[in-house]
Amino acid sequence: MRSERDYVAGLYARLDAERARVKGGYTAALRGTGGTPMERDDEVRALAKEAKRLDVADSGLCFGRLDTLSGEHSYVGRIGLFDQDNEYEPVLLDWRAPASRAFYVATAASPENMRRRRQFHTRGRRVVDFTDEVLGRPGDAERGDAALLAAVNAPRGEGMRDIVATIQAEQDEIIRLDHPGVLVIEGGPGTGKTVVALHRVAYLLYTQRERMERHGVLVVGPNPAFLNHIGRVLPSLGESDVVFTTTGGLVPGLRVTAEDTPEAVRLKGSLKILDVLSAAIADRQRLPEQPLPIDLGDTTVRIDAETAEWARDEARASGLPHNEARTVFTEILTYVLTERAIARIGRGWLTRSDREAWEQMRADLLRELAVDDAFTAALDELWPVLTPETLLAPLYASEERLRAAGADPALSRAVGDAWTVSDVPLLDELVDLLGRDKATDRAAEQAADRERKAEAEYAAGAMDLLVDRKDSMDDEDHLFATDLLYGEDLADRFVEQDTRELVERAAADRDWTYRHVVVDEAQELSEMDWRVLMRRCPGRSFTVVGDLAQRRSAAGATSWGAMLEPYVPGRWVYRSLTVNYRTPAEIMSVAAAVLAEFAPDVQPPESVRACGVQPWSRLVTEDELSAAIEEFTRAEAGREGTSVVIGPPDVPGAVAASETKGLEFDAVLVVAPERILADGPRGAAELYVALTRATQRLGILHQGPLPSALTVLTETGATHESAHA
- Alpha-helix residue ranges (DSSP H) falling in 497-641: 502-507, 527-536, 560-564, 585-598, 622-637
- Confidence check: pLDDT of 722 > 60: no
Average pLDDT score over residue span 355-377: 89
188 is in an annotated binding site: yes
Task: Classify each residue of 508-528 as buried b or exposed e, where b means 16 or more C-beta atoms within 10 Å of its C-beta.
Answer: eeeebebbbbbbbbbbbbbbb
189 is in an annotated binding site: yes
Average pLDDT score over residue span 244-254: 95
- Confidence check: pLDDT of 37 > 50: yes
pLDDT of residue 720: 47
pLDDT of residue 469: 55
Contact 102, 118 (CB under 8 A): no
pLDDT-wise least confident of 105-109, 332-336, 577-581, 657-661: 105-109
Contact 628, 647 (CB under 8 A): no
Q: In 3D, which of 7, 8, 1 has the Cα closest to residue 124?
A: 8
Q: What is the mean pLDDT of the chain?
A: 88
Instruction: Work out the angle at residue 201's Cα, subtended by the Cα atoms of residues 198 and 203, and round it to the nearest 5 degrees.
Output: 115
d(CA 647, CA 623): 17
Prediction pTM value: 0.85
566 is in an annotated binding site: no
3-state SS of the chain: helix, strand, coil percent to 5? 50, 15, 35
> With bands split at pLDDT 50, 70 and 90, how would you rate the model's confidence at 456?
low
pLDDT of residue 360: 85
Beta strand residue intervals within 473-615, DSSP E:
516-519, 542-546, 572-577, 579-580, 606-607
What are the residues facing 116 on neighbouring strands? 67, 134
pLDDT-wise least confident of 419-423, 451-455, 623-627: 451-455
d(CA 310, CA 307): 5
Q: In 3D, which of 264, 189, 288, 178 has the Cα closest to residue 528?
A: 264
Contact 334, 301 (CB under 8 A): no
pLDDT of residue 352: 64
The per-residue pLDDT for range 585-611, each reduced to its tens digit, is 999 999 999 999 999 999 999 998 999
The per-residue pLDDT for range 80-138, each reduced to its tens digit, is 999 887 777 899 999 999 999 999 998 877 889 999 999 998 888 999 999 898 887 65
What 3-state class would DSSP assign to 619?
A: strand
Contact 229, 157 (CB under 8 A): no
d(CA 640, CA 424): 40
Length of the chain: 725
DSSP 354: -
Q: In 3D, which of 542, 536, 543 has the Cα closest to residue 512?
A: 536
Contact 556, 523 (CB under 8 A): yes
- Confidence check: pLDDT of 387 > 80: yes
d(CA 40, CA 29): 7
What are the residues facing 665 on neighbouring strands? 694
Contact 666, 694 (CB under 8 A): yes
- Confidence check: pLDDT of 490 > 60: no
257 is in an annotated binding site: no
pLDDT of residue 445: 64
The per-residue pLDDT for range 298-311, each reduced to its tens digit, is 899 999 999 999 99
Question: What whole-number percentage of the chain has pLDDT above 70?
Answer: 87
DSSP 655: B
What are the residues facing 76 on neighbouring strands? 64, 93
- Which residues touch 448 (CB under 8 Å, ≥6 apart)? none
Q: In 3D, which of 148, 154, 166 has the Cα closest to residue 666?
A: 154
pLDDT of residue 448: 60
How far lies 547's CA from each of 13, 233, 550, 577, 619, in Å? Answer: 45, 21, 6, 10, 32
- Confidence check: pLDDT of 484 > 60: no
Average pLDDT score over residue span 709-725: 66
